[in-house]
C-alpha cells in the first residue's frame, strides 16, 4: 500500500485491508465489484463521531449488497472485488473532485468526523483506501485483457427504500448502464420476464462522470460493457433475500452473456 510516510496512517496492522479480491482467476466473463460493501470505519477515525446505530444505517454502506455480490460471484464463477471500509470514510464511487467524496452530511445526518478535514487527512483516505481499491480493479481488468479474455463489469449496490423526507422508491431493482446501454438493456429485458418485478431504468440514479466512478472509469473508460445494479434494501436484508437475488441475477446474466460477448470485439 502506498502512502505518504509523513501522512497519517489510517489502518492498524490487525484491521482488514482496503480491498479484498476473491476468485481473481474466475473463468466467468463477468467481474463483480462492491464499492459500498462495508460499514467499517478505521479504528483511528473513531467511528467518524457517529453512533454504532448510525453506522449501521444505509448512510454508511449498501445494506445487503455484499451478501448478494458474494453469492452472485460464486454462482457465476466470477472474480469479486469488495471494499473494506465505509463510504462515509471515502466514497469509492465518486470522482476525487466530488463534493460528497467524504460527505459532511449524508441523508440529513451530519458526519462529525468529516468536518474540517485537513488536506493530509483527505490525502490519507485517498492514498490508503481509494487508490488501492481502484488499483485492484484496474489490475484485474488489465490481466484479463492481457490474457485475451473479455470482461463484463457488474457494479453491485443497494438502495434505501426511502430517503429522509423523500417518497417511497417503488423499484425492486434499478439498473444504470454506462455509455454502452446494451448490457443494461439486455439485463432489464431478462429481469422483466418476471412480471411481478418492478425494474427501474436509470433509477434510483442515472450514472454520470461527475457523480460516479466505477462504471465511467472501469467500464466506459476501457470500452468494457458495464452496468450498475441497485437492489432495494428491504429485499436483501436477510440471507434468504440475498440468495434469491443472487440466483435471479446469476440466471439473467448467464442468459445474456452470449449476446453480450458476441458484441465484444
Ligand atoms: Zn452503493
Question: Residue 229 has what pLDDT?
Answer: 98
Band of residue 199 on the pLDDT scale cut at 50, 70, 90: very high
- Ligand 1 centroid to residue 92 C-alpha, Å: 9
Decide which of 3.40.50.880, 3.20.20.70, 3.40.630.40, 3.20.20.140 is the CATH code for 19-263: 3.40.630.40
Rounded distance, CA 20 to CA 132, Å? 10
Residue corresponding to grid cell 500500500: 1
Residue with cell 479504528: 43
**Residue 158, SS3?**
strand
Contact 30, 154 (CB under 8 A): yes
Confidence of residue 4 (pLDDT cuts 50, 70, 90): low
Q: 6 falls in which pLDDT band (50, 70, 90)? A: low
Centre of ligand 1 to C-alpha 60, Å, is 10
In the chain, domain spans: 19-263
Residue-wise pLDDT for 148-190, tens only, equals: 999 999 999 999 998 888 889 999 999 999 998 999 999 999 9
- Write phi, then psi, for 189 (nearest 5 degrees): -65, -40
CA 175 to ligand 1 centroid distance, Å: 12
By the 8 A CB rule, do 19 and 84 touch? yes
Task: Give me the mean pLDDT over the 198-206 stretch.
Answer: 94
The pLDDT tens digits of the residues spanning 19-55 come to 999 999 999 999 999 999 999 999 999 999 999 999 9
Ligand 1 (ion): residues with CB under 5 Å are 36, 62, 157
For 94, 96, 105, 114, 258, the CA distances from 99, given in Å and listed in that order, are: 9, 8, 11, 12, 40
Percentage of the residues of the chain whose pLDDT score is greater than 90: 91
Q: 115 C-alpha vs ligand 1 centroid, how far in Å? A: 22
- Mean pLDDT, rounded, for 92-107: 96
Mean pLDDT of 134-159: 97
Grid cell 458476441 in the structure block, residue: 262
CA of residue 157 to ligand 1 center, whole Å: 4
Instruction: Output the CA 95–ligand 1 centroid distance in Å.
Output: 14
CA of 36 from ligand 1 middle (Å) equals 5
Residue 183: which of 227, 228, 245 has the closest Cα? 227
The pLDDT of residue 165: 86
Residue 35 Cα to ligand 1 midpoint, Å, equals: 6
Residue 1: per-residue pLDDT: 47
Task: Give the chain's mean pLDDT.
Answer: 94
Please tell me what DSSP assigns to residue 43.
G
Query: Which residues, other chains included, contact 245 with Cβ-Cβ below 8 Å and sequence gap of 6+?
Result: 68, 72, 173, 231, 235, 236
Q: Using CB atoms within 10 Å of the CB of residue 95, give its burial: 0 to 12 exposed, 13 to 18 middle, 19+ buried.
A: middle
Rounded distance between C-alpha atoms, residue 184 and residue 99, angstroms = 28
For ligand 1, the distance from its centroid to the CA atom of residue 135, given in whole angstroms, is 19
The residue that leads in pLDDT, 2 or 209, is 209
220-241 residue pLDDT tens = 999 999 999 999 999 998 899 9
**Ligand 1 centroid from CA 102, angstroms:** 14
pLDDT over threshold 60, residue 263: no
Q: Within 10 Å of residue 207's Cβ, how many Cβ atoms?
A: 23
Compute the distance from residue 130 Cα to the ligand 1 centre, in Å: 15
pLDDT-derived band at 5 (thresholds 50, 70, 90) equals: low
Kindly give the distance from the C-alpha atom of residue 61 to the centroid of ligand 1, in angstroms, as a whole number.
Answer: 7
Q: How far is the CA of 148 from the centre of ligand 1 (A)?
A: 30
Amino acid at each position: 500500500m502506498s502512502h505518504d510516510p509523513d501522512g497519517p496512517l489510517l489502518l492498524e496492522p490487525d484491521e482488514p485491508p482496503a480491498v479484498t479480491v476473491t476468485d481473481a482467476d474466475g473463468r466467468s466473463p463477468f467481474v463483480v465489484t462492491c464499492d459500498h460493501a462495508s460499514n467499517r470505519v478505521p479504528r483511528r477515525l473513531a467511528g467518524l463521531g457517529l453512533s454504532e446505530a448510525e453506522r449501521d444505517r444505509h448512510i454508511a454502506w449498501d445494506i445487503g449488497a455484499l451478501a448478494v455480490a458474494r453469492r452472485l460471484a460464486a454462482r457465476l464463477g466470477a472474480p469479486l472485488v469488495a471494499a473494506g471500509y465505509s463510504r462515509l470514510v471515502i466514497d469509492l464511487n465518486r470522482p476525487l473532485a466530488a463534493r460528497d467524496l467524504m460527505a459532511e452530511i449524508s441523508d440529513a445526518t451530519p458526519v462529525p468526523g468529516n468536518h474540517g478535514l485537513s488536506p493530509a487527512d483527505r490525502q490519507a483516505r485517498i492514498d490508503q483506501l481509494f487508490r488501492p481499491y481502484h488499483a485492484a480493479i484496474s489490475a484485474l481488468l488489465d490481466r484479463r485483457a492481457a490474457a485475451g479474455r473479455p470482461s463484463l463489469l457488474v457494479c453491485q449496490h443497494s438502495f434505501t427504500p426511502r430517503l429522509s423526507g423523500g417518497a417511497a422508491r417503488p423499484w425492486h431493482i434499478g439498473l444504470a448502464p454506462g455509455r454502452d446501454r446494451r448490457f443494461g438493456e439486455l439485463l432489464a429485458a431478462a429481469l422483466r420476464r418476471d412480471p411481478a418485478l418492478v425494474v427501474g431504468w436509470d433509477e434510483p440514479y442515472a450514472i454520470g462522470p461527475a457523480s460516479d466512478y466505477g462504471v465511467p472509469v472501469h467500464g466506459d473508460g476501457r470500452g468494457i460493457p458495464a452496468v450498475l445494479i441497485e437492489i432495494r434494501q428491504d429485499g436483501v436484508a436477510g440471507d434468504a433475500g440475498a440468495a434469491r437475488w443472487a440466483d435471479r441475477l446469476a440466471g439473467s446474466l448467464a442468459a445474456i452473456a452470449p449476446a453480450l460477448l458476441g458484441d465484444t470485439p
